[in-house]
Amino acid sequence: MNNLQTNSAIDPQAARQALAELFGFRSFRPHQEEIVSAVLSGRDVFAVMPTGGGKSLCYQLPAYLLDGVCVVVSPLISLMKDQVDAACANGLRAATLNSVTSPEERSAIAAALRQGELNLLYVSPERFNTPGFGDWLKRLQVSFFAIDEAHCISEWGHDFRPDYLALSRIATEFPGVPLAAFTATATPRVAEDISARLKLRSPHLTRASFNRPNLFYQVTPKDDLDGQLREFLRDHQGESGIIYRTTRKNVEATAAMLRSHGIPARAYHAGLPDGERAENQDSFRRDECQVIVATIAFGMGIDKSNVRYVVHADLPKNIEGYYQETGRAGRDGEAARCVLFHGRQDVAQLTRFAADIEDEEARETALSQLGQMLNFARTDNCRRVALLGYFGEKFPEKNCGACDVCLGEVEREDATVSAQKALSAVARTDGRFGAGHIADILTAANTKRIREQGHDRLPTYGVGKDRDKSYWRAVMDALLGQGLTRVDDPRYPTPTITDDGWKVLRGQRTFQLIKQAASSRKSRKSRGTIDGDEPYSLGLFASLREARTRRARADNVPPYVVFSDRTLHEMARVFPDTREKLLAINGVGKRKLEAYGKEFLAVINAYRQANPGEVAIPTAPRKPVPCFIPPNPGGGRTGTVLETMRLLEEGKSLPEIAKARSLKADTIVTHLEALAATGYELHQDQFFTPRRLEEIFALYRQTQTWQLKPVVEESKGTLDYSEARLARIFLQQREDFGENALTED
Ligand code: ADP
Ligand code: MG
């Protein structure tokens, strides 16, 4: 049966080797290695890791190294098929048994299993639950069980699947076989439930951080949603993304609106005929349609790794859902964007919806979750801090660098006086009225309610006439979001003043209003932090993407099974021209090299010949070059830099280039720095005699720094800034230079 004996002999080095050879990855993601080694040592495992954390590898890799077959239980047939395709593309031997497996396929799989030829067998919970299946499994050598999406076993989770309950038999029926459970669901209640139901035996526990560093979070008030969506999509042409809407009707309306503007979006919701729904999902998976507009029914069934944005066009019901849905972006680790549009109507609608829930406990939960969601949308602090805080996680940095607040995309203005006016209206009406009525008082509206309540006689009546009602609603929202007022029950949104609010009223603290200028023009530049800002050739990426689509079609798999976006980005950065260099790219293992290497090398070669001006961009310069790398991804070079490069290639000297371009020599030197930083080889003899370079080198050495000023001063007038800067490019490339010989500026 199970073979702990042989398995415990596996050397940890073997796991690293398999990581490189099989998956083509340079390093493990956080926690992967510890989980792999726990599985290899025969322990039960319970791993909670976010979407995109790389859970599949945690069982696929041991499945490859261990004798016998790893049985993977996975909830959805479409997911299983993609997983099997992806595993096979990496050279693993995998198959799936589910309700659509034909009898012929079944017997072929059974034969392969008897021969011990499969590493992985994916089964649906229904299949697992069929009578006799367990006995059949017992006759095989099962290395371990992997339960993917393990939260499906919990009734507290959002994807409860009754058939998962049968999995609690594994521990008793296969006492010697380890069990590894994986989920991205973060709530402690669900986690406990999973562990208990699966009867895990002192499992190795992993709870990864829920931070998704490559996701950029943005929250924007909804004013003209259709226009806002179109503008956003204009900036994200050619990228795959999901737009979530709350209702089926809105899904249809938005998809139709986009199509009428020439954006071929498809719809997805539970009300569509099965065929159409599957077809739409499939065309999205295959990169044939870029934009899918969907209800939250969409997402769990796909592992598509290159979703570059997730837009919530309506306020989600709770943070948990929001996190899961945004989590579908950027699984490949590349930068992706999450935008939430929210408007007042959403709040009213969701509140009504929650308030109508009959069961009291469920109603209270829904309302309080909605309250948390609203706080998230209204906060003026880092979105990442707020999101992780919800899961009890503290984000350590001051500035996350990847949300609209931290990047300063939201503009703030001091609005203490406005806050005082609004709060005073709240105080004078005893916190018994909603934001709309307060705004009416401030703008001197002549409504029935105002007259009835005698509010036109309040001293605050009309004190905010200089601004319109929507401004005052925004102030009221911000007061609530910043905790200066509070609403205890969203069904009765009549804010009252908090202690902090009284401080503002008494002039003891200030209040800032977010103006939220966040235009999506700006948004295009801001990308996530992880590897997201390394430049690559857009042109080559486009060609590689085409090749990927062709290959995927021919093999009948989704494109991301061939190579991830991330892998193609890296190719478009380093322009590999040999099999060895291709193999060194993250995500290219031996099997993929054999299967696709020739084809992709040919694409790179052809591109190189057609674009001789573009050259490889090294990931990290050998020595840190203290100069800017232009942020545009077009090969990392702007037009003006390319113009300098052209003149350089004509053999012109520095003064000649400066003259030809009517630019300062110093500016040209910054171009040269940019070229060097993006891997362009400059020749020092085009600028210096060896002797002159040595003289300058001596000055740098004397001052022990790469900073220009001390060196220029040290030279006593014999060296100017441009020359010092130019020389630095070559000096920093010297092999004989001790890593820490000089300090950086
Ligand atoms: P999860 O199931 O946790 O959501 P997946 O297993 O689908 O995540 O992995 C997400 C993506 O990350 C996949 O494209 C996968 O190939 C990639 N990936 C996994 N592990 C690594 C690694 N060590 N290095 C680079 N990419 C990885
Ligand atoms: Mg997964």
Q: Is the pLDDT of residue 427 over 80?
A: yes
Cβ atoms 267, 251 nearer than 8 A: yes
| Amino acid residing at 257 | M
Q: Is the pLDDT of residue 639 over 80?
A: no
Return the H-helix or E-strand segment holding 479: helix 469-481
Let me know whether 420 and 395 are in one domain: no
Q: Report which protein residue has its CA nearest ligand 1's atom 14.
A: 332
DSSP for 543-591 reads HHHHHHHHHHHHHTS-HHHH--HHHHHHHHHH---SHHHHHTSTT--HH
> To test ligand 1's pocket by mutation, which of 27, 56, 557 has the most ligand atoms within 8 angstroms of CB?
56
For 707-722, what is the mean pLDDT? Answer: 86
Stronger pLDDT, 104 or 690, i.e. the higher one: 104
Handedness of CA 392, 396, 402, 408 (dihedral sign): positive
**Pick from 354, 370, 402: which residue ends a domain?**
402
Let me know whether 164 and 222 are in one domain: no
Work out the percent of the chain whose per-residue pLDDT is above 70.
90
> What are the tens digits of pLDDT across the range 519-538?
433 443 323 322 445 678 88
Please give the pLDDT value at position 320.
87
Provide the domain limits for residue 438.
416-510
> To test ligand 1's pocket by mutation, which of 73, 215, 285, 305 has the most ligand atoms within 8 angstroms of CB?
305
Answer whether residue 408 is part of any domain: no
Nearest to 284 by CA among 253, 729, 276: 276
CA of 259 to the centre of ligand 2 (A): 32
Q: CA 380, CA 263: separation in Å to the nearest integer?
A: 33
Q: Report which protein residue has its CA nearest ligand 1's atom 18.
A: 54
Cβ atoms 94, 121 nearer than 8 A: yes
Please give the pLDDT value at position 617.
62
Answer whether residue 628 is part of any domain: no
> What are the tens digits of pLDDT across the range 495-522?
999 999 999 999 999 888 876 544 433 4
Let me know whether 443 and 500 are in one domain: yes
Let me know whether 223 and 367 are in one domain: yes
CA of 54 to the centre of ligand 1 (A): 3
Let me know whether 297 and 370 are in one domain: yes
CA of 331 to the centre of ligand 1 (A): 7
Let me know whether 647 and 676 are in one domain: yes
Which range, of 17-21, 347-351, 419-423, averages the lowest pLDDT?
Answer: 347-351
Residues 6+ apart with CB under 8 A from 643: 661
Q: Is the pLDDT of residue 743 over 70?
A: no
* Ligand nearest to C-alpha 74: 2
| Amino acid residing at 45 | V
DSSP for 336-401 reads EEEEEEE-HHHHHHHHHHHHT-SSHHHHHHHHHHHHHHHHHHH--S-HHHHHHHHTT-----S--S
For 711-726, what is the mean pLDDT? Answer: 87
Let me know whether 463 and 498 are in one domain: yes
CA of 147 to the centre of ligand 2 (A): 10
Return the H-helix or E-strand segment holding 413: strand 412-414
Q: Is the pLDDT of residue 1 over 70?
A: no
Answer whether residue 633 is part of any domain: no
Give the chain's domain count.
5
CATH number, domain of 173, equals: 3.40.50.300
Please give the pLDDT value at position 356.
86
Q: CA 175, CA 166: separation in Å to the nearest integer?
A: 15
Q: Report which protein residue has its CA nearest ligand 1's atom 10.
A: 52
Residues 6+ apart with CB under 8 A from 433: 426, 494
Answer whether residue 543 is part of any domain: yes
Answer whether residue 663 is part of any domain: yes
pLDDT band at 725 (very low <50, low <70, confident <90, very high): confident
Is 669 in a helix, a strand, or coil? helix
Answer whether residue 354 is part of any domain: yes
Let me know whether 397 and 422 are in one domain: no
Let me know whether 199 and 231 are in one domain: no
Atom of ligand 1 nearest to the CA of 564: 14
**Pick from 569, 589, 610: which residue ends a domain?**
610
Please give the pLDDT value at position 381.
82
CATH number, domain of 596, equals: 1.10.150.80
Let me know whether 562 and 674 are in one domain: no
Answer whether residue 622 is part of any domain: no
CA 61 to chain centre: 24
Structure tokens at 235: 């900036």
CA of 685 to the centre of ligand 1 (A): 47
| Pairing label, strands 412-414, 512-514 | antiparallel
Q: Name residue, tokens 């057609």.
A: 610
Answer whether residue 745 is part of any domain: no
Q: Report which protein residue has its CA nearest ligand 1's atom 2.
A: 55
Return the H-helix or E-strand segment holding 221: strand 215-221
pLDDT band at 635 (very low <50, low <70, confident <90, very high): very low
Q: Report which protein residue has its CA nearest ligand 1's atom 24.
A: 25
Q: In 10 A of CB 339, how many CB atoms? A: 25
Paired with 496 in beta bridges are 486
**Pick from 402, 427, 452: which residue ends a domain?**
402
Stronger pLDDT, 244 or 399, i.e. the higher one: 244
> What are the tens digits of pLDDT across the range 249-290?
999 999 999 999 999 999 999 999 999 999 999 999 989 999
Please give the pLDDT value at position 628.
27
pLDDT band at 665 (very low <50, low <70, confident <90, very high): confident
Let me know whether 107 and 196 are in one domain: yes
Let me know whether 193 and 90 are in one domain: yes
Please give the pLDDT value at position 395.
87
Residue ranges near ligand 2 (ion) with Cβ within 5 Å: 55
CATH number, domain of 662, equals: 1.10.10.1390
Atom of ligand 1 nearest to the CA of 51: 4
CATH number, domain of 475, equals: 1.10.10.10
Work out the percent of the chain whose per-residue pLDDT is above 90.
50
CA of 300 to the centre of ligand 2 (A): 9
Residue 340's φ and ψ, nearest 5 degrees, are -115, 120
Q: CA 696, CA 688: separation in Å to the nearest integer?
A: 10
Which one of 362-376, 606-620, 626-640 scores highest in mean pLDDT?
Answer: 362-376
What value does the mean pLDDT of the chain take?
85
> What are the tens digits of pLDDT across the range 288-328?
999 999 999 888 777 899 999 999 999 998 898 899 999 99
DSSP for 61-94 reads HHHHHSSSEEEEE-S-HHHHHHHHHHHHHTT--E
Q: CA 423, CA 646: separation in Å to the nearest integer?
A: 63
